[in-house]
Chain A
């Protein structure tokens, strides 16, 4: 989509709607994310079954959220063997750029039932302001 700076001036939410377009046709890196957006925050959810929360390293800089971690393979003892081995294991390191700056002090992350949920509030200075219209 081609847009002039002039058009951009009138749609402050443009980045917001363009966000999913950036990922179209791309194979997601591990782990897959679902990203939810509203005017004042973003929520990222990702499935990391079997990982201990202390093994997850989450960092936020500006608009970018980075998640690092590892799921170790189970060690087999002697005499044990696999019939099937489908579950993934290994290290991961994934960054994602959100459409707006993040208030890093307000970031909350919870890990429940193997799902990591990261709540990322939008930087206060960037939140859309509601302007009251007065009648004279």
Chain B
């Protein structure tokens, strides 16, 4: 197993200095793997507590935003005696390069894991510049 000291602590998402969120809820940065394949870029994010209805993905200009809303973890009539992890929403943003085919983006959620497939545009796939000697 990897070093677990960092992984145990969920990182809170930051807001720009001086700007507050309207919702008084915690936002965490989901841990992600980003894999480059020959024809696509795949973003895999851990979003426990979210199903497909709770996850919202937007692509504005070149910024991909992942939002996941998690309902409060409070259990009625019980006392939280041990609190080793925080429960909250997820938010994370990535800047993408121009070579993504926006129409072909696919996303799915399974067992609390979000997978976003960003296909490379056909121009990007074949863009190979021949270098000629003079």
By a beta-carbon cutoff of 8 Å, the part of chain A in contact with chain B is: 19-20, 23, 27-30, 32-38, 41-43, 45-52, 74, 76-77, 79-92, 111, 113-115
B83 within 8 A of A: yes
Partner of A49, one of B35, B85, B111: B111
Chain B residues in 8 Å Cβ range of A35: 80-82
CB distance from B99 to the nearest CB of A (A): 14
Q: How far is the CB of B61 from chain A (nearest CB, A)?
A: 20
Chain A residue nearest to B37 (CB atoms) is A80
Tell me if B79 and A37 are in contact (CB < 8 A): yes
Chain B nearest CB: distance from A38 CB in Å? 5
Query: Are B85 and A47 in contact, with the CB atoms below 8 A?
Result: yes
Residues on the B chain within 8 Å of A43, using CB: 75, 78
Q: Chain A: which residue is nearest B4 at the CB level?
A: A30
Number of residues on chain B facing chain A (CB within 8 A): 38
Chain B residues lying within 8 Å of A115, measured Cβ to Cβ, are: 48-49, 112
Known A37-B81, A92-B1, A114-B112; contact A86-B47, beta-carbon cutoff 8 A:
no
CA distance A33 to B5 in the complex (A): 15
* Contact, CB under 8 Å: A27 / B112: no
User: Cβ of A84: which chain B residues have Cβ within 8 Å of it?
Assistant: 32-34
Q: Give the residues in chain A near B66, CB-CB below 8 Å.
A: none
Contacts of A29 on B, CB cut-off 8 Å? 4
Within 8 A of A (CB), among B100-133: 110-113
CA distance A28 to B126 in the complex (A): 49
Which residue of chain A has its CB nearest to the CB of B50? A113
A47 touching B48 by the CB < 8 A rule? yes
A34-B82, A50-B113 known; A91 and B1 CB under 8 Å? yes
Q: When each residue 20-38 of chain B gets 1 if its CB lies under 8 Å from chain A and 0 otherwise, what string results?
A: 0000000000011111111
Q: Which residue of the partner chain A has the closest CB to B70?
A: A113
CB-defined contacts of B80 to chain A, threshold 8 Å: 34-36
Known: A113-B48, A114-B111. A83 touches B85 (CB 8 A): no
Which residue of B7, B41, B51 is within 8 Å of A88 (Cβ)? B7
Q: In the assembled complex, which residues on chain B have CB atoms less than 8 Å from the CB atom of A28?
A: 8, 84-85
Q: Is the CB of B111 within 8 A of A32?
A: no
Q: Are B35 and A34 in contact (CB under 8 A)?
A: no
